[in-house]
Structure 1
Amino acid sequence: MSAYFSHLKNKEMIMMVEAQQKKQAKKMLWITLAMMAFSTVWGFGNVVNGYVYFDGTKIIFSWALMFLLYFIPYALMVGELGATFKDSEGGVSSWVNETMGVKWAYYAGWTYWACHVVYISSKGTGGLRAMSWGIAGNTQWYDSLPTVTTQFATLVIFLFFCWVTSRGVPVLKTLATIAGTSTFIMSILFILMMYAAPAINPHASFYSINLNWKNLLPNFNLKYLTSLSILVFSVGGCEKISPYVNRLKDPFRNFPKSMFALAAMVMVSAILGTFALALMFDPKVINAHFNEYVSNGTYMAFDRLGKYYHVGGLFMKIYAWCNVIGQFSTLVLSIDAPLRMLLGSREAKLYVPKKLLKLNKHGAYINGIWMVVILSGGLIVAQALLPNAQAVMAQLVKLNSTTMPLRYLWVFAAYVALRKHQKQFKSFYKMTKHQWLAYTAGIWCFFVTAICCLMGIYSTDPMTLLLNILTPIVLTALGLILPAIKKHEDARIG
């Protein structure tokens, strides 16, 4: 009998070992996580924006500094937060809730949602512009229309997709993934094909690249300082990869490897992409037609690449239609997902009025969608005062760069709070064992983000400056008012 039980025990141990081996086999390799993060964080638009805003190859110095002094510590902090709160599904709001308390978690959730108000208004504009390139091969007819007309069309598109959101259409998530993957692949192909272009078509007109210090070091002037938010916006979003930290083999060793590999890939992509654009575009011409290049730079690059390969506008049209699908499907997801994160959280029941928590028969937060309609729709209408559609697009790029990075502030605040109370939490991965270094990294990244966003508000255009100031103030005020309304509501019921 004892032999039987011994055999049974050995069999159970073997099964446990096999189960553990299978579990380990399913663990993710560090290079896999690096590739996933690369496709999530980076895009061709970031390369073009850097080239346009920072005088061509002069962006390289700034990219290097941004990756080394901001992006790498940012990613490593996200890894520690994700490893510590591996069972939290609310992302940044959950981290803030655990480290700073429920009220601060509400404000973190509100900030994440409020940042998307501007982003949402830019998707309709971006989608119509992509459609113009896809149909006509340019935006001359679109840009020649009165701004009131283009903004009315944008408003109609926006309202239609708000209605789509209220009906609940899950297929759009798949479309967004497909379109996003396609544009990402094309972005990588662009760099490779551009370097091959001189061999394919040696008689085409290419600009020569002069790699002296004058063409590599930026001019540290007002334009440079007020454009740094563009770079912060470009490298942000690492918190999206935090759930995957726990799926790595040996996270303590492999997560830093993933993040350094990610930084290396992004830096190589940024530098090679910058040189590829330098073969195409003269920074002096860009500065003379600044809004045109901000609005259309990616399409113009693919259009010129097609001419080098004797296929006309083929590459540009493929990219444009991928972008049409991506812009409009992302519009729906950007209306729906942040709203669900805000109103579906535990904090919402404590600080948000009940009317905003109302669900329709399709499971959508219908009054929350109306709030999006009023705020994002109001921004779309206000931009009808701008001189043309190119000015609208350029303003949205700048406004997004000063508002979207504000959500990263909560990541760094949560990290500093985590290290302050580290004895209360257990984690198998830490960015560093040294408390002073952890505090320095968290406070440094918080400071850089805040300063860049504040400097990014400045604009020589009065309308842009007004919107850059008013938008954060209005959204912050609304976030503070809602808890007061909830408190009055509870007092009246009580």
Structure 2
Amino acid sequence: MAENNKQKKLTLITLILMIFTSVFGFANMPRSFYLMGYGAIPWFILGGITYFIPFAFMMAEYGSAFKDEKGGIYSWMEKSVGPKFAFVGVFMWYSSYVVWMINICSTIWIPLSNTIFGIDTTSNWGILGLNSTQVLGVLGVIWVSATYLISKRGISKITKITSVGGIAVALLNIVLIIGAIIISILNKGQFREEITSTMSFVNSPNPAYQNVSSVLSFLVFALFAYGGIEAVSGLVDQTENPEKTFPKGILMAAAIISVGYSLGIFLIGIFTNWAGTLSGENINMANVAYVVMNNLGYTLGSSMGLSNSLSIQVGNWVARFVGLSMFLALTGAFFTLSYSPLKQLIEGTPAKLWPGKMAVIDENEMPINAMFIQTIIVAVMVLFVSMGGSSAKLFFTMLVLMTNVAMTIPYLFLSSAYISFRKKDNIEKPFIILKSKSFAIFIGVIVTAVVGFANFFTIIEPAIHGDYKSTFAMIAGPVVFAVAALLIYANGEKKKDI
């Protein structure tokens, strides 16, 4: 039995792939270039330096200090600050991932459609009298149910799928890098989006991103592009030699992701002219990744001297590859995030907070009953949104807005708890990156301030443009989730042995 458990442990490479799959969003690079051009690069560097890399340091220190704790970020915050603080933070964080799952159940079919047909045809899908939205809803229910049936068999099944997703994204980046370099050589170093001066890395070619408000909103986008590293923190206890492997995996993944975003944005400019390719009215945040990579294939073909029709075919096949890679990456992320946040919520928190047998962990170390309940909730919500008409869609839009801030507020909980973590000398810390306690506390304050600013600006930005409903929804989200968490906790406190 011990040998079987040993085989289930995560290796360094598997851990890095899981982190990479959960954090790195390939689409963030073409979306960033679409919004800011080369001007996106300094903001990603700033976000990496002031938030992502120091936050990754914190996660690594937490992870090695609490390597024997099964509750992930709940355990970290509970040991550093207290149980109520930790429960509110982890419950808000978990709630946002449930909404993310509901959203992905319907949108994951877009990259699959691009894989099969070369374009997004989901708006035309219909069968047995169901319209496209309803068909996507039914497919979403099948998807989340299949995820549950596979995931309940244990972490080894999840790691196989997430590893495929991580490899797919890595290959997609290799295609971008090699394709851009070949085009640069064939065009003798001439960029399609010319770099005229250092201001090319400051100003945006996008007319909508010319004022302070819009540029600051991009900083928020850059910060949120780094989100998700805490999601795999609950896997410390399932990692080989966790004291060394876990922090090493987090740091290596953080370095690759930080450099990768900036490099990818820079390379897109080699084969993409913003005004010529991305200024059309039909270009948007949902399809820009496919447009950019289709353009990579087309430009590669034309640079090699192929005919226009052949170049178009090359572009279409590259777009299909993008669709397949993003489908596999989303699949990997879905499996990881349908299990890891719930694992941390259930395993970390006192069992008597939860009704019935919801807190039961099976022989595969999976919170099997909680996973089943989560699957039912997601499936019902997907059907409600897809079958409920315009009012249901409006409700879901507001729900997404409510979780935009709620998803990142736990980062504030974690970074502020880190300050307390470093102050407590009674917590054994086998792995310390920030050697000076005062400097570590200073870094904790800086990260907390940066995330706090990002959340504050995210909340007020719609109101600046007159959209007060969105601002209200983003304020209401954290309030609603926090009140729900406090009610659950208060109810649990009435029971004994909590």
Q: Would you say same fold, with TM above 0.5?
A: yes
Q: Relative to structure 1, is the Cα distance of residues 377 and 180 closer, same or farther in structure 2, using a 3 angstrom cutoff?
A: farther
Corresponding residue SS for 1:354? coil
Match of 2:266 among 256, 271, 275: 275
* Residue of structure 1 in register with 2:295 after alignment: 304
Kindly provide the amino acid, as one letter, of the partner of residue 479 in structure 1.
Answer: A
Contact 1:402 1:453 (C-alpha < 8 Å) held by counterparts:
yes
Per the TM alignment, residue 456 of structure 1 is displaced from its structure 2 partner at its CA by 1.8
Q: What residue is the counterpart of 2:445 in the other structure?
A: 443
Structure-2 change in CA distance of 1:118 and 1:44 (3 Å) = same
Structure 2 match to 1:320: 323
Aligned to 1:164: 146
Against the structure 1 CA distance between its residues 226 and 315, is the aligned structure 2 distance closer, same or farther, given a 3 Å change threshold? Answer: same
Which residue does 2:201 correspond to in 1? 216
- Unaligned residue ranges in structure 1 (runs of 5+): 1-27
Cα separation, 1, equivalents of 2:21 and 2:212: 33
Counterpart code for 1:270? Y
Q: 1:189 and 1:166, CA in 2 relative to 1: closer, same or farther beyond 3 A?
A: closer
1:413 aligns with 2:419: no
2-side partners of 1:79 and 1:412: how far apart? 13
Residue 424 of structure 1 corresponds to 426
Is 1:111 aligned to residue 97 of structure 2?
Answer: no
The superposition leaves residues 94-128 of structure 1 with CA deviations (integer Å, 9 ceiling, x where unpaired) of: 11121122333322331231120232123123312
Read off the aligned partner of 1:121 and give its amino acid letter: I
Cα pair 1:42 1:266 within 8 Å, conserved: yes
Structure 2 Cα separation of the partners of residues 295 and 396 of structure 1: 19
What letter corresponds to residue 454 of structure 2 in structure 1? C
Whether contact under 8 Å (2:125, 2:132) holds in the other structure is yes
C-alpha distance in 1 between matches for 2:289 and 2:263: 15
Q: 1:486 to 1:95 in 2, by over 3 A?
A: closer
The aligned counterpart of 2:306 is: none
CA distance in structure 2 between the aligned counterparts of 1:268 and 1:227, rounded to whole angstroms: 18
Instruction: Please list, as runs of the form range in 1=range in 2, the aligned pairs for 1:163-202 lying within 5 A after superposition.
Output: 163-169=145-151, 170=153, 171=157, 173-200=159-186, 202=187
The alpha-carbon distance between structure 1 residues 207 and 381, as it changes in their structure 2 partners (threshold 3 A), is farther
* Cα distance in structure 1, aligned partners of 2:116 and 2:289: 16
Report the Cα distance in structure 2 between the residues aligned to 1:74 and 1:41, rounded to whole angstroms: 13
Q: Which amino acid aligns with 1:279?
A: I
Q: Offset of 1:409 from its aligned partner?
A: 2.3
Q: Is the 8 A contact 1:116 1:404 kept in 2?
A: yes
Give 1:351's aligned residue: 353
Secondary structure of the residue that 1:87 maps to in structure 2?
coil
Q: Report the counterpart of residue 12 of structure 1 in structure 2.
A: none
The equivalent residue for 1:42 is 24
Q: Secondary structure at the match of 2:284?
A: helix
Partner of 2:106: 125
1:477 is matched with: 483
Question: How far apart are the structure 1 equivalents of 2:98 and 2:282?
Answer: 22
Report SS of the residue matched to 2:286. helix
Whether the 8 Å CA contact 1:398–1:456 is kept in 2: the answer is no
Per the TM alignment, residue 415 of structure 1 is displaced from its structure 2 partner at its CA by 1.1
Displacement, 1:193?
Answer: 1.4
Q: Deviations over 1:214-240 (max 9, x none)?
A: 321255611122333321222233443
C-alpha RMSD over aligned residues: 4.3
Secondary structure, aligned partner of 2:287: helix
Question: Match for 2:485: what amino acid?
Answer: G
Contact between 2:164 and 2:332, CA under 8 Å: does it hold in 1? Answer: no
Q: CA deviation at 1:447?
A: 2.0
> Cα deviations across residues 188-224 of structure 1 (Å, max 9, x unaligned)?
3312211212445x49x96232242332125561112
User: Which moved further from structure 2: 72-81 or 462-471?
Assistant: 462-471
Letter in 2 for 1:97: E
Matched-pair contact (CA < 8 Å) for 1:79–1:245: no
User: How many Å separate the matches in 2 of 1:246 and 1:358?
Assistant: 26
Aligned pair count reads 449
1:79, 1:255 within 8 Å by CA — same for their partners in 2? yes
The equivalent residue for 2:80 is 99
Counterpart Cα distance in 2 of 1:282 and 1:383: 40
* Residue 370 (structure 1) aligned to one of 361, 376, 397: 376
The answer on 1:52 being equivalent to 2:30 is no
1:279 is paired with a residue of what secondary structure?
helix
Q: Secondary structure of the equivalent of 2:438?
A: helix
> Per the alignment, in what secondary structure is the counterpart of residue 69 of structure 2?
coil
Give yes or no for the alignment of 1:77 onto 2:68.
no
Contact 1:93/1:106 (CA < 8 Å) preserved in 2?
A: yes
Change in 2 beyond 3 A, CA 1:228/1:401? farther
Q: Deviations over 1:133-180 (max 9, x none)?
A: 1222122x445789x955433332332233335545544552332123
C-alpha deviations, 1:281-320, integer Å up to 9, x for none? 4445788558843101222222222222342422221221
Q: Secondary structure at the match of 1:222?
A: helix
> Per-residue CA shift, 1:6-53, capped at 9, x if unaligned?
xxxxxxxxxxxxxxxxxxxxxx99x99888866664342232232233
Any gaps of 5 or more consecutive residues in structure 2? 1-10, 204-209, 302-310
Alpha-carbon distance between aligned partners in 2 of 1:358 and 1:383, rounded to the nearest angstrom:
37
Q: Are the equivalent residues in 1 in contact too, given 2:52–2:226 (CA < 8 A)? A: yes
- The one-character-per-residue Cα deviations of 1:41-71 (angstroms, maximum 9, x if unpaired) are 4342232232233x11111221221222222
| Partner SS state of residue 225, structure 2 | helix
Residue 5 of structure 1 corresponds to which residue in structure 2?
none
**Contact kept in structure 2, 1:50 and 1:59, CA below 8 Å:** yes
Pairing 1:236-315 to 2, within 5 Å after superposition: 236-239=227-230, 240=232, 243=236, 259=251, 265-283=256-274, 292-307=283-298, 308-309=300-301, 310=311, 311-315=314-318
The CA distance in 2 between the partners of 1:380 and 1:233, in whole Å, is 27
* Whole-angstrom CA distance in 2 between matches of 1:258 and 1:330: 16
Identify the residue that residue 14 of structure 1 maps to in structure 2: none
**Letter of the 1:78 counterpart:** M
In structure 1, the partner of 2:216 is 225
Q: Match of 2:206?
A: none
Q: CA deviation at 1:182?
A: 1.1
SS at match of 1:294: coil
Q: Normalising by the residue count of structure 2, what TM-score does the alignment of the two structures yield?
A: 0.75
